[in-house]
Structure 1
Amino acid sequence: RILPSASCLFDKMVQIRLEGLAPHKSVKLRSKLVDDRGVTFTASALYVSDKTGQIDLSTSPSLAGSFTGVEPMGLFWAMTPDTPHSKHLKKNVLSPTSVEFQALCEETGELLASG
């Protein structure tokens, strides 16, 4: 399960936490957004759940991926376009920007959670 809620304000700190995982499980987190031109932006990071089966991005370090270390907002700021040299385009600033998250088992690629 990916926490907290499914919506938040764009300029506020987001706390991302996973729970219900097996202890000490390697998990790849991916973020994805598609801008108003259809350009896809993605980031990923590798984490290991703690002894209680949780990953909290405010305290858990990324071990590999688009960034390393403790970066609570890393899955946002590290997003890069799949099309080189593209900039994020938002035509209607009143409409929400959706960022999708996936948690995948590093060993098998199995989808563990999404939101």
Structure 2
Amino acid sequence: MGTTLADRVGANIAEARKRAGLAQKVVAERIGMETESLSRIERGNALPSLATLDRLADVLGISLQQLLSGASVGLSSLAATVQEEIAPLDDADRLFVVDQIRVLSRKLAEKSK
């Protein structure tokens, strides 16, 4: 069975919370939610509303886009994810990563023929 939207969003929230060094209880209090509700969201058992996602992004100091990163397999969403990942790199490293993506994509395309 594949990963659901709730699973991916929940994992992104949990990862961002841990990166920020915040306990579930602290984040839940800051957004006006029960700790157990946040736990269910992080486990992928519940999908938060857009308003809740917006509050979470604010408390965690990241963009809403980052919380939704990987939630879609659409090309524009995936391109945004790649852009976000390579943004902190210098030009040479960005080109290297893009070249690696190109090589892997071609190999996978050939494999699926």
- TM-score, with length taken from structure 2: 0.25
- The structure with the greater share of residues assigned to helix is 2
- TM-score, with length taken from structure 1: 0.25
